[in-house]
Structure 1
Amino acid sequence: MIRISDNLALPLEAVTQTFGILAVRGAGKSNCAAVMAEQMFMAELPFVVVDPVGSWWGLRASSDSHRVGLAIPIFGGRHGDVPLERTGGQVIADLVADERLSCVLDCSEFSEGDKIRFLIDFAERLYRRNQDPLHLFLEEADDYIPQRPFREQARLLRAFENIVRRGRARGLGITMITQRSAALNKNVLTQIETLIVLRTTSPQDRKAIEGWVEYHGQAKTLLESLPGLEDGEAWVWSPSWLKTLKRVKILRRLSFDSAATPKEVHGKRPPATLADVDLGTIQKRMVATIERAKAEDPRELRARIAELEREAKNRPQAEPEIIEVPILNAKDLQQLEDFRLATDRWGEMATTVTTTLTRLISLVENHPRPAVPNRPNLAQIAPLPSPPPRKASTSSQRSNGPEEGLDRGGLRVLETITMLNHRQLPVDREAVARWMGIHPNGSRYLRALATLRAEGYLEHFSILKMSPACSNFYERGDDGALSALKEPFKQRVFREVLAAKGPLTRETLAERLGIHPNGSRYLRALAWLRQMHLIPERGSIVPTEGVYR
């Protein structure tokens, strides 16, 4: 059990659940999260702390000088065991997923841009790679899951939103900690299953909590008690998972409270003994992960290619050494002489044959030709009798097509061209066939086009007349485009294009899908989408305007 209070213990399944810890500064929210982390560590449940303020290093020390803290590494920050690189998000995610390593990621020394880049790489990679139970603690979560994201923050928000909404299937749980409930994204906040609220006084923050209460059908009267809660006192609301609403007193953490506000004027409190962490073993584990990440990282490959090109350019050119080698030896010369003599003999024989043929042709031309008998007068030959006239076919003998000899294939072609005109998409042989879900070189499809042109319905791909049997209904918007993609993999690729907040490249789209950018199945799907004109033929991968018509 994960005990956070004398009268409340959470099941071990909490490692894959979602929590929100909300409170004003100094009310005890970081202490509550630290208690949960300590309890998970004692239960051998791995966790990762994302710390943008540098306040979680105290887990490595005890609250007194007689015990050690938790034996977990600190990556980055002023108290870090191992430096944290801004480009190392994917490396750390691989290490955590492969080794089930509990650790603290101190991002406090990063610039805002470097922090966002690191967390995007970490969250997206961890979501794809992780399979076993793992819990994330997000300190000051409103800093990277904001209500109003800007630029790259939108991608970071999407990455953590995926973990909150769908992370349980991949073994991921999450606890978001914030003192600014109003600034935390509401779409993410409402997905939290268990809310732990300590003292909250701000009207804006209380209003954000009220939104969660209304979403989960709780009594609003409980909100009135929030400003009067003592330090460490909290309401725990879990309407679906624990099915409980309880007022509790959170236990004090066993580790050093590095997040507490200093109360002594002269100097800082000395931390107790740091826990022993086998950094050598961790670094050895990281070597293989770092090398594998570099081998798969396109940026590293480009940098290595550029380095090799510079080395080749700066390498001094060696003077060429001239070595004379005889082209032909005596044996080769003798063979050439024999070939010349044989060619001369063949030439003499050819001359003799030519002379003989000339004489024979002359004899044939001068020989008298035999008389040719007179040919009969064709006009005197009686003509053949005419065949009897064919009977007109009755209606029962005609084709069973819908109308005027058009079969269902021809009608589908007309309907598809009409739909493409409504969507204002280019109409060509490939586009019509792909929207119909068939091959543009199929024999039945080509025969249908030939019939439509012969019957006067089409000129190239412009409709000259319309059959009354054609349907004018088609499924509009991106839902219609998805319906036309019969194969689930093509639908998955196009859904990712629709979900993107901006233009993608072939490599970034493949990375979002978790596949290789040069895979044959992936390249065929992109070619199919281009032939349907759902994405541009060249340049960035974005939905065309016709998708939404």
Structure 2
Amino acid sequence: MHHLNLGPDLSLPLAEASGQCVAILGIRGSGKSNTAGVIFEELLAARYPLSIVDIDGEYFGLKEKYEVLVVGAGENVDIELDVDAAPGVAELSLREGVPVILDVSDMLAEERELFVLEYLTRIWSLAGKLRKPYMIGIEECHEFIPQGMRTDLKEVIARIALRGRKRGLGAVIISQRSAKVEKDVLTQAGMLFLHRVVHEVDMRVYSELLPWPKAEVKEQVTSLGVGECIYLSGQSIRKVKIRPRHTFHGGFTPSFKPVETPKLRQVRGEILAAIHKFKEEKGASLSEEELQQRLEKLEAELALKQARIRELERRLRERQAPPTANPAAPEPPPEHPVPPTFDLPPEVLRKVERLLKRLRRLPIHERRLVAFLAAREPRSYTTAELAAWADCAEATLLAEPPTELVELGLLSCERLARGITYRAQLKAFVNRAFSGFLPELGPQGCHHLVGYLRGRLCQLSALEHDFSRIA
């Protein structure tokens, strides 16, 4: 049976680490990255397939002794990859047992998150079918599984860490800020390497993980030297020293002494050729419709960021503006009298009431939008113009668009050169939603119905003055 030789007094059976969630915690310079590197070295020596999410581009040194494929966007990658190719490389790694380092050091935060999400999602779904032993290392994991925040990537990583064992998946999570890591994941880790910490909040986390009094936890942890840690697994708890890495550590602290990068092992040509072929096929397989959808998604994300910038700039201007002696009281919303029913049939009026009942459940800013646009049909307005009238941030309209109003057909949405615009289309809505009544109503009755509906919609903006749901 293969053992993981982690230090002079710590040798673990490989089976004991397989499928485990392993947590390595400690401040920068305490030796946590060395501990992670040693674990990865031992796994590679045992030909145990793995992937490492490398946020700082420091694990390429494993190639000094082991054949590891480095992909992503960084100085030391074998192949530069974008988000589209991530699932394919994940499948190659899991099916063929190819060790992979995801170097995301040169990616922006959102690109990095999407890249890792696509990769790990494919690993998770495929592992359910293949059920092969496989380990996933995540450096600076507090960036991906932060405490108190929900993201799609966090959900996938937590799923792998907490429930991956049944699919053969294990995880090694590394962080210098234990207090920022999702508690549910830390407390369920089956194997812990606790290096030195100094922050009180991190010490409190250690106190929750270790079965000692708080005073003893602080005494033991603060006495740890570089490379030393408290090892906790099951009933075993002891102080250990982890051996130095055998391979080059790309995360060394810069100094005036020259550091020479060693000669690194090259990945087999057939692996690189398979990935190049996959990239070409993936690029060629994208249809015009898929490209258009991707363009629209990126444009929407850009519009959302621009709106948030404008909103922050507006808030900054308001704070920098000198205070007025007697600030004017906000103008009350205009009163809208109940419109005449024009002798419309009772069945039509009941249908209008059912529609209004549905609309009253919408957020206040959406009710204000439909009232504003109904009163000004057929003019169209950009999200920036609508946000000013509805007294909400433009980012709110972009992040939470009035989808239900558009699906009902009360509003139409267009993407124009001046931005995303909305306008009311009450006549088209009446022609479709009340089509069964139109023969009886006739042209004049249809005109009256549109007018009556417009008047009732205008009343929606004055129903309540609760601004709590407006960002």
TM-score range normalised by the length of the shorter chain = 0.5 to 0.7
Report 1:135-146 matches (<5 A): 135-146=135-146
How far 1:223 sits from its partner (Å)? 3.8
Deviations 1:202-252 (A, max 9, x none): 111111222223xxx45542342111211001110112xxx3111111001
From 98, 117, 121, the equivalent of 1:120 is 117
1:20 counterpart letter in structure 2:
A
Could you report, residue by residue, the CA deviation over 1:453-496 in whole angstroms, capped at 9, with x for unpaired residues? xxxxxxxxxxxxxxxxxxxxxxxxxxxxxxxxxxxxxxxxxxxx
4+ residue runs over 3 A deviation: 217-220, 287-295, 303-306
Of 211, 221, 231, the residue aligned with 1:226 is: 221
- Give the C-alpha shift of residue 89 in structure 1: 2.3
Aligned pair 1:7/2:9, yes or no?
A: yes
- The offset of 1:302, in angstroms, is 2.5
1:265 counterpart residue number: 256
Structure 2 distance, partners of 1:235, 1:227, is 11
> Does the 8 A contact of 1:116 with 1:144 survive in 2?
yes
What does 1:54-133 align with in structure 2 at a 5 Å threshold? 54-61=57-64, 69-76=65-72, 77-130=74-127, 131-133=131-133
Q: Which residue identity is paired with 1:228?
A: S
Verify the 8 A CA contact 1:24 1:201 in the aligned structure 2: yes
Task: Supply the distance in 2 between the matched residues of 1:300 and 1:255 (Cα, whole angstroms).
Answer: 44
Distance 1:145 1:305, change over 3 A: closer
Contact kept, 8 Å, 1:22 with 1:178, in 2: the verdict is yes
2:289 is the counterpart of 1:302: yes
Alignment of 1:141-180 (within 5 A): 141-149=141-149, 154-180=151-177
Partner SS, residue 36 of structure 1: helix
Q: Which has the higher contact order (CA 8 A, sep 6+)?
A: 2
Partner residue, 1:286: 275
Asked if 2 retains the 8 angstrom alpha-carbon contact of 1:190 and 1:212, the reply is yes
**How many pairs were matched up?**
291
Q: Which amino acid aligns with 1:191?
A: Q
* Structure 1 residue 43, shift from structure 2 partner: 0.9
Partner of 2:339: none
- Distance 1:236-1:305 versus aligned 2 partners, 3 A rule: closer
Relative to structure 1, the CA distance from residue 304 to residue 144 in structure 2 (aligned partners, 3 Å threshold; closer, same or farther) is closer
Cα distance in 2 for partners of 1:305, 1:146 equals 33
Q: Partner residue of 1:205? A: 202
Give, in angstroms, the shift of residue 286 of structure 1: 2.5
Are the counterparts in 2 of residues 15 and 45 from structure 1 also a CA contact under 8 Å? no
Partner AA of 1:11 in structure 2: P
Q: Counterpart of 1:91 in 2: which secondary structure?
A: helix
Instruction: Trace 1:449-460 onto structure 2 (pairs within 5 A).
Output: none
Q: Is the 8 A contact 2:207 2:213 kept in 1?
A: no
Tell me the TM-score normalized by structure 2. 0.58
The Cα shift of 1:78 comes to 0.5
CA RMSD of aligned residues (A): 2.7
Alignment equivalent of 2:187, drawn from 190, 213, 221: 190
Alpha-carbon contact 2:192-2:233 (below 8 Å) kept? yes
Letter matched to residue 261 of structure 2? P
Report the CA distance between 1:290 and its aligned residue.
4.8
Q: Deviations over 1:250-297 (max 9, x none)?
A: 0010000111212x325x40111111321x2112333565578679x8
Whichever residue aligns with residue 302 of structure 1, its letter is E
* Structure 1 pair 86–272 and aligned structure 2 pair: CA distance change class (3 A): same
2:219 partner amino acid: E
Shift of the 260–305 alpha-carbon distance from structure 1 to 2, 3 Å rule, reads closer
Residue 236 (structure 1) aligns with = 231
Distance 2:282 2:156 in 1: 20
| Code of the aligned partner of 2:55 | P
Q: Does 1:41 align with 2:44?
A: yes
CA distance in 1, matches of 2:187, 2:287: 40
Amino acid at match of 1:96: S
Q: Distance in 2 between matches of 1:145 and 1:83?
A: 25
2:239 alignment partner in structure 1: 247
Instruction: Decide whether the 8 Å contact of 1:294 with 1:300 is kept in 2.
Output: no
- Counterparts of 1:165 and 1:301, CA distance in 2: 40
Change (3 A) 1:219 1:40: farther
CA contact (8 A) 1:199 1:230 kept: yes
The structure in which a higher percent of residues are strand is 2
Query: Percent of aligned pairs with the same residue?
Result: 29
SS at match of 1:45: coil
The 1:304–1:226 alpha-carbon spacing in structure 2 relative to 1, beyond 3 Å, is closer
Given that residues 83 and 118 in structure 2 are in contact (C-alpha distance below 8 angstroms), is that contact kept between their aligned partners in structure 1? no
Mapped partners of 1:73, 1:122: distance in 2? 14
Q: Which residue of 1 aligns with 2:459?
A: none
